[in-house]
Structure 1
Amino acid sequence: MTLRREFDLIIYGATGFVGRLTAGYLAGAAPATARIALAGRSLDKLRAIRSELGDPARDWSLIVADADDQHALDAMAKRTRVVVTTVGPYARYGLGLVQSCAQAGTHYADLTGEPLFVRECIDRFHTLAVGSGAKIVTSCGFDSVPSDLSVFLLHRRALEDRAGELASATLVATVRGGLSGGTIDSGRAQWEAIAEDPSLGRIVADPYALSPDRHCEPDLGKQSDHALRRARGIDPSLSGWVTTFIMASHNTKIVRRTNGLLGWAYGKRFRYREVMYAGTSVAAPLIAVLVAAGLATLARLGPTLSRGLGKRVVDRLVPEPGTGPGERARDNGFFTMQTFARTTTGTRYRAMFAAEGDPGYKATAVLLGESGLSLAFDDNPRHEYGGVLTPASAMGEDLADRLGKSAMTISVDRIDD
């Protein structure tokens, strides 16, 4: 379905740190004919951002809309084919925009790593979006495009090779970059919600919490996102140690939702997990233990740290929302995601997804920007249905092709024993 609107794409939250980076990326990457607008709360700040972007953005329109003004969000959504938003925490500021897009049949992409927000979007807006044709695509940044597309492409390769369904896959993340203030604020918003309603903790802990039909998921026993092991236990080509990956809990839910949305195409007995590479140095085992123990403790104490003395201490230690590193630090970051998979016939594959640039900033601007362009311009009949979707189920190979052309490294290889 091609929406006939005033704009092809609106960047909402364009005056925030990641919003500015995304706007800057689109100024260079979008087609010259693309009709793009910048949106946010302050007209003066929007004008300043547009002037910084130079000639490509000279004619971009500016839209003032506050996240608390439902009428303004509704009007904005009706004017465009796609909204990409960097305004978080999404559970606090994002539900109104999702509602507007679902009602208007407007495609939507965000950067959320908040499973409680995604679950609420599914419960409240999935049926509405299916009816309007809106693709509400969550987690279109470092969380969770590399994870989601890697498994999707592994599935496609196994299908082409007639090698059976995916039986298991483990993603090993090697990352250099910092946590943004917005990411930390999103985590705190989730802790606050759990502190007020402890039953929400069960959603965060459930690996199938975002499944389109929880009752259809298999009982594969305990599946934990906490990890501490030697890397060679994942694949003989690896050495050193792996530990818990901070975003595994969210990413794995997105991958499992994709499997369900695709009719459990990966397989009903598919197991998936993510770990972080800790290295091969003498200190690697200690680093792995400290990271795993720290994240396990944080998972237990997070709700306590969202209020009182704990909140005041965290406020002093973490970066402010909307802030981020300088250009040199962003350029020095990188990520490499290797996903090792085995099919039901015993065939092994490795997917590689890598990029230069800080994952939470420079790389995420590319991932979100290309997701927005894909939703606006890729009319693939295999991805025409609406609803609250995932990057792979909504855009699949179209997004992978775009990212491969944007200097990201994406490949799938068969591993011969």
Structure 2
Amino acid sequence: MRDHDIVVYGATGFVGVLVAEYLAAHAPAGTRIALAGRSADRLAAVRDRLGVDWPVIVADAHDTDRLAAMAASTRVVATTAGPYAKYGRTLAHACAAAGTDYADLTGEVLFARRSIDENDELARSTGARIVHSCGFDSIPSDLGVHVLHRRVAADGAGELTDTTLVVTRLRGGFSGGTIDSLRHQLDAVRKDRDLRRIAASPYSLSPDRSAEPDLGRQEDLVTLRGPEVDPALRGNLAPFVMAPYNTRVVRRSNALRQFAYGRSFRYREATSVGTSPLSPVIAAGTKTGLVALAAGLSMPPTRFVLDRLLPKPGEGPDEETRRTGHFTMDIFTRTTTGARYTARFRAKGDPGYAATALMFGEAALALAVDRDSLPPSGGGVLTPATALGDVLVDRLRAAGVEITSRILSDPSGKK
């Protein structure tokens, strides 16, 4: 019998406090939750602010012994302490070794790849579910395609082929933590050619690159016209900033499921910029801007300036912005039978903060409370779809998130 059901690590950070608040309000009675981080005083302050009697655990991110003891004391560790390449490796490994389920919010390709290499086999042997990317990265993408696949399979409409997620609405603040993660990854790839190659590969998170089908070039940052995605979609599409990470997570889900989505499954992400005459210019400018941001953060002179303009780690939007934010993602696919389907993932609250706290909190509860109902993974380094699947879909729907799917057309006329 372990002492805790969930340990929230990084509980004094901006997102950590939001996750703790969510669990305090929504965890079932009797759920044993602890707060963990580096400072006992700051943890106690969070506990007092929440009005709970949860225990606190002091453990530095690089203290192997304390992290091992913490992992062994709980069924689930939910960590918000990033960048994960800097603060997450020791903890993820401790959980894999202890047979403890682990969830985080990473959007870092290199960290996720290293975790797979270091922890997958070990976690399989202990039964631990190591589940990366349980927030805005990458639950809407991963579960959205999961739901789409389930609908197509239930209809007997073949397999998924060309599939595109389109961010049709988004309102929210900028994340200092996301920017900091980007800085760390750019630093790593600048110094190491092999890491650059891994980061650039569309199959960098694949369990076995040699088993992946040859689908040609798959770009991360795409500009498209709406009808290229689906005849009903109007306007122009710009690159989605998180596509370079989310696409790799979704491809890993397909591979972990023995290519259940399809051997011809191609996946990309973009964001709508409307139908105005200027929308093609906006789309192209967005792509140029994202490339320029990465280049600017990679070079010391421009990075010096950008570091003073961009949000800092630990900074986030105010309460009103978090409350009034929202996002809608629509996923379009064609199947091998020629049918067209779409799925929608829509949530209220700032995507990177309020909505992420909800998604992450429900993911942690799914691991802690619903373990017997989860997909029979056998442990390992998993994705939200392969680790949590329909259990998390049902939880999110019950929490007010819209997750739907429907058919758009069927050439056979059977649907």
Q: TM-score range by the shorter chain?
A: over 0.9
1:341-386 CA-partner distances (Å, limit 9, x unpaired):
1111111111000011110000000111111001111112633410
Q: Report what 2:413 is aligned to.
A: none
Instruction: Supply the distance in 2 between the matched residues of 1:26 and 1:168 (Cα, whole angstroms).
Output: 38
Give 4+ residue runs of structure 1 displaced > 6 Å after superposition.
none
Pair 1:293–1:381, CA change in 2 (3 A): closer
**1:135 maps to amino acid:** R
* Equivalent residue number for residue 189 of structure 1: 184
1:348 correspondence with 2:343:
no
Q: Judge conservation of contact 1:129–1:135 (CA < 8 Å) in 2.
A: yes
- Name the SS for the 1:9 alignment partner: strand
Structure-to-structure mapping, 1:317-356, within 5 angstroms = 317-356=309-348
Matched, 1:246 2:241: yes
Q: Which residue does 2:36 correspond to in 1?
A: 39
Between stretches 278-287 and 332-341, larger displacement belongs to: 278-287
Residue from 119, 122, 125 that aligns with 1:125: 119
**1:188–1:302 CA contact under 8 A, matched in 2:** no
In structure 1, C-alpha distance between the alignment counterparts of 2:170 and 2:9, rounded to whole Å: 28
8 Å contact from structure 1 (residues 195, 303) kept in 2? no
Offset of residue 167 of structure 1: 1.3
For residue 20 of structure 1, the aligned residue among 17, 21, 38 is: 17
User: Residue 194 of structure 1 contacts residue 303 of structure 1 at CA under 8 Å; is this kept in 2?
Assistant: no
Range that drifts further, 229-238 or 402-411: 229-238
TM-score, with normalisation over the residues of structure 2? 0.96
Task: Return the match for 1:11 from 5, 8, 12.
Answer: 8
The structure-2 alpha-carbon separation of the partners of 1:277 and 1:381, relative to structure 1 and needing over 3 Å to count, comes to closer
Matching residue within 38, 46, 51 for 1:49: 46
Q: Does the aligned pair in 2 maintain the 1:8–1:376 contact within 8 Å? A: yes
The 5 A counterparts of 1:158-169 are: 158-169=152-163
1:393-412 pair list within 5 angstroms: 393-412=386-405
Superposed CA deviations along residues 284-319 of structure 1, whole A, max 9, x for unmatched, are 2222121011123344x26623xx323321211111
Alignment match, 2:217: 222
How far 1:281 moved relative to its partner?
3.1
Contact in 1 for aligned 2:159/2:262 (Cα 8 Å): yes
Residues 231 and 242 in structure 1, CA contact (< 8 A), matched pair in contact too: yes
Select 2:407's aligned residue among 394, 408, 414.
414
Aligned-CA RMSD value: 1.3
- Could you report, residue by residue, the CA deviation over 1:84-122 in whole angstroms, capped at 9, with x for unpaired residues? 000010001100001100000000000000010000001
Equivalent of 1:153 in 144, 147, 158? 147
- Equivalents in 1 of 2:75, 2:377: separation in Å? 14
Alignment correspondent of 1:101: 95
- Stretch of structure 1 that moved more, 381-390 or 72-81: 381-390
Structure-1 residue corresponding to 2:134: 140
Quote the Cα distance in structure 1 between the aligned partners of 2:70 and 2:223: 47
The one-letter code matched in structure 1 to 2:42 is K
**Unpaired stretches in structure 2, ≥5 consecutive residues:** 411-415
Percent pairwise identity: 55
Asked whether 1:77 is paired with 2:77, we answer no
Q: Does the residue aligned with 1:102 lie in a helix, a strand or coil? A: helix
Deviations, residues 221-270 of structure 1 (Å, cap 9, x unaligned)? 11101211221221222221101000001000000000011111111111
Aligned partner (choices 186, 207, 221) of residue 202 of structure 2: 207
Residues 304-319 of structure 1: pairs in structure 2 closer than 5 A: 304-305=298-299, 308-319=300-311
Matches within 5 A, 1:358-397: 358-378=350-370, 379-380=372-373, 382-397=375-390
1:243–1:292 Cα contact (<8 Å) kept: yes
Quote how far apart the aligned CAs of 1:205 are: 1.3
Residue correspondence of structure 1 range 220-299 to structure 2 within 5 A:
220-299=215-294
**Structure-1 separation of matches of 2:362 and 2:296:** 33
Is the 2:99–2:123 contact (alpha carbons within 8 Å) kept by the matching residues of 1? Answer: yes
